[in-house]
């Protein structure tokens, strides 16, 4: 029998689409919340963001919408808005990522919601917030990566700024939204009142700049791109082997000594130019070819296994299929398979109330009749 989850009994009205909001609400749903995903008649646009498709629905949508019940409402019309109010009567959380001003145009202002549903936690995810110089402007992950400075620190020094391959800003916003919701629910236990949570992609992008922003605040110097290397730690970079590259993540001097010893050259760690992390940072251009000469005769997987078991943090640079199909990913339950569904597992593992798979991502409007009947609301015409 599937676990009810830590959030069993929690009702979430999900008006979000694309990624940050659905990623947040899938986290809540995985841990037991009853998430009711409300889509417009045309559906969440990510249903068409493919290929690949399964029965006409894109993998992009499938990846972040499991364990939810799906209904269709046209919130631009009075019937849809009335139905939404019926859903909010029994809800704990409302999460939406409409452009600021949209809900207000429908009469769903913060003040109106707070007065009618005083215990409701209302989370809004937007590009830049509702006010300020960029308030109310549209924001997508890649554009925010650019304007928040993330692209400027990503990529090789000789190349142009590079977008991070995964939508890191959207995912971070989803995580921060989930954290904010849980904080507000915890506080509600004391006060009995809900509150408004303002999550902006822009804020989340800026919050991801560590350690570059800390370095800038202290030194006043504009950070440079360093490719796969770390700006503060050496060796912390990819290195060539006889097969695929290995990533060495050597965080202290003791680990560096173990690395050199395992590669058969313990004396390298005793050289004045490499003895401390500060020394190695100043001489990183000299150190890299030395380490690559020592690593080049070795198969990547084999030497990575030897080094990490010796206490040297490292890993082979794997492609995505090798990563998700690894033995340890299977051991950690990081791939979920149920019937025709296959998706990533749960990074949050609770001992008594674990996350669980209960249902595949809903078809468009699949649960409209049932959900509105539960709320004693007629289906909008």
**H-state helical runs in 163-252:** 168-191, 201-207, 212-219
**H helix or E strand, kind and range, residue 236:** strand 236-239
Q: How far apart are CA 77 and CA 102, in angstroms?
A: 13
Three-class secondary structure of residue 210 per DSSP: coil
Please give the torsion angle defined by the CA atoms of residues 252, 253, 257 and 259, in that order, rounded to the nearest 10 degrees.
Answer: 30
Distance CA(323)–CA(277), nearest Å, equals 30
Place of tokens 């963001």: 49
Active site residue 170: yes
| Token representation of residue 43 | 């559906």
8 A C-beta contact, residue 17 and residue 44: yes
Q: State the catalytic residue, choosing from 44, 170, 203, 237.
A: 170
> Hey, what are 41's tokens?
């008649």
For residues 228 and 2, what is the distance between their CA atoms, to the nearest angstrom? 41
Q: Residue 70: CB partners within 8 Å, gap ≥ 6?
A: 36, 37, 39, 361, 362, 363, 364, 365, 366, 367, 368
What angle (nearest 5°) sits at the alpha carbon of residue 353, between those of residues 351 and 356? 110
d(CA 331, CA 334): 8
DSSP state of 101: T
Residue positions annotated with a catalytic role: 170
């Amino acid at each position: 029998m599937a676990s009810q989850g830590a959030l069993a009994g929690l009702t979430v009205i999900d008006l979000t689409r694309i990624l940050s909001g659905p990623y947040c609400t899938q986290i809540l749903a995985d841990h037991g919340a009853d998430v009711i995903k409300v889509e417009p008649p045309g559906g969440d646009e990510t249903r068409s963001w493919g290929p690949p498709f399964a029965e006409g629905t894109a993998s992009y949508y499938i990846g972040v919408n499991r364990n939810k019940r799906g209904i269709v409402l046209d919130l631009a019309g009075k019937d849809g808005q009335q139905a939404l109010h019926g859903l909010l009567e029994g809800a704990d959380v409302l999460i939406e990522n409409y452009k600021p001003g949209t809900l207000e145009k429908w009469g769903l202002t913060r003040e109106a919601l707070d007065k009618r549903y005083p215990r409701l936690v209302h989370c809004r995810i937007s590009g830049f917030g509702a006010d300020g110089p960029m308030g109310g402007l549209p924001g997508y992950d890649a554009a925010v990566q650019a304007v928040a400075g993330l692209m400027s620190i990503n990529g090789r020094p000789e190349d142009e700024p590079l977008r991070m391959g995964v939508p890191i800003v959207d995912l971070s916003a989803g995580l921060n939204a989930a954290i904010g919701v849980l904080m507000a629910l915890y506080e509600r236990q004391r006060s009995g009142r809900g509150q408004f949570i303002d999550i902006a992609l822009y804020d989340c992008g800026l919050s991801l700049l560590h350690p570059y922003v800390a370095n800038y605040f202290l030194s006043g110097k504009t950070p440079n791109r360093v490719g796969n290397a770390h700006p503060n730690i050496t060796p912390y970079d990819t290195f060539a082997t006889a097969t695929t590259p290995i990533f060495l993540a050597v965080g202290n001097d003791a680990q560096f000594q173990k690395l050199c010893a395992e590669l058969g050259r313990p004396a390298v760690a005793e050289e004045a130019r490499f003895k401390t992390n500060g020394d190695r940072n100043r001489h990183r251009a000299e150190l890299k070819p030395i380490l690559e000469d020592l690593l080049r005769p070795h198969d990547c997987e084999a030497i990575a296994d030897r080094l990490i078991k010796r206490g040297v943090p490292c890993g082979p640079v794997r492609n995505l299929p090798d990563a998700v199909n690894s033995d340890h990913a299977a051991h950690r339950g990081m791939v979920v398979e149920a019937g025709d569904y296959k998706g990533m597992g749960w990074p949050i593992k609770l001992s008594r109330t674990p996350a669980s798979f209960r249902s595949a991502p809903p078809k468009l409007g699949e649960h409209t009749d049932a959900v509105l009947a539960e709320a004693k609301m007629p289906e909008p015409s």
